[in-house]
Amino acid sequence: MSSRENDNIQLVRRALNTLNAGDTTNVSEFISPAYFNLEMDPVRSKMRGPQEFIDTVMNIQNAFSRSTL
């Protein structure tokens, strides 16, 4: 496995751990300012970067507090 592949795997693991735990403390360390989530909602579709990911995490935690991805 290449170093780049390993880096990508670690990035996905960090994102999933954040989604599962709801701890958004270090999101800006691994979510790019260019990150966006394709949403149908007109307000959410304009959000970008770590703040958008934090909003997504909070929405998932509120809706499915006992679930694990």
CA distance 29 to 24: 10
69 is a domain residue:
no
58 is a domain residue:
yes
Instruction: Please list the pLDDT of the chain residue by residue as tens digits (69 residues).
Output: 899 999 999 999 999 999 999 999 999 999 999 998 887 778 777 889 999 999 999 988 888 877 666
CATH code, 37? 3.10.450.50
68 is a domain residue:
no
| pTM, rounded to two decimals | 0.81
Give the structural domain span for 41.
Answer: 3-63
How many domains does the structure of the chain reveal?
A: 1
* Integer angstrom CA distances of residue 33 from 2, 10, 21, 42: 25, 19, 22, 19
15 is a domain residue:
yes
* Exposed e or buried b per residue across 17-46, where buried means at least 16 C-beta atoms within 10 angstroms of its C-beta: ebbeeeebeebeebbeeebeeeeeeeeeee
